[in-house]
Amino acid sequence: MAKNKIIQVEGREIVIISDRQDDFISLTDIAKHKSEDATGLVISHWLSTRFSVEFMGLWEQIHNPDFNVTEFRNIKSEAGSNGYVLSSKQWISKTNAIGIISKAGRYGGGTFAHRDIAFEFASWISPSFKLYLIKEFQRLKEDENVRLNSEWNLQRTIAKINYHIHTDAIKENLIPREITRQQANLVYASEADLLNVALFGITAKEWRDRNPENRGNMRDYAALEQLVVLSNMESINALLIQQGVSQSD
């Protein structure tokens, strides 16, 4: 789900819509640096220039397989001529563009563009404003990376702790005292792979065979959500072992 975030650029709030794939920056907020009351007109003037149309068209052809190239060529032939005006909504509807989006709503609404496009628009507004925008955007992404890494490390630690709980349950309830260490290790691997197959779809050995160049194990390369699920699975499995539930059940 996309989330709204706000950065401060030269005392002005700039809204950013972020999800796991892309960041879209508010052109409406950037346009306020030039005109508070005519942001739509500012955006249209920028879109209507030949340079902007060519840039937008190239971006779409790289990122958008459904881009209407024929309509783009028609627009490019008219761009820059006297009296020609192109709005963001016209650009989107005519070319099936994805680099610019229009959001309705009193709060958080307006015209948004992919960061690549937003930076170009900011450059047209003011080179200094563009520089400060890039710096603040980079700071936001760095802060997000630090937070995500901290969360990942925390969940990895929780997974390791739960793994010890998990192996203790195996040792106390599944492994007879008289079997060899090798046999005991086979039981551990069996229980661990039960979770590996349920969560990752492969055993630890299968992962190592497919990823000989990677160090560690598949859990070291797991996503944050997978580690959360893994932690809960290990706790539940330890409880089921203590209750005497068979592996097949």
pLDDT digits (tens, 9 = 90+) for 21-51: 788 999 999 999 988 889 999 999 999 999 9
Q: How far is CA 109 from CA 6, 11, 115, 242, in A?
A: 13, 20, 17, 54
Low-confidence ranges of the chain (pLDDT < 70): 1-3, 20, 105-108, 148, 150-151, 154, 170, 173-189
Angle separating helix axes 88-95 and 39-47, nearest 10 degrees: 50
* Bridge-based pairing state of the strands 23-26 and 110-114: antiparallel
- Class of residue 193 by CB neighbours under 10 A (exposed 0-12, middle 13-18, buried 19+): middle
Count CB atoms within 10 A of the CB of residue 60.
Answer: 24
Q: What is the pLDDT of residues 94-135, one digit of tens each?
A: 999 999 998 876 656 789 999 999 999 999 999 999 999 999
Beta strand spans in 45-143 (E): 100-103, 110-114
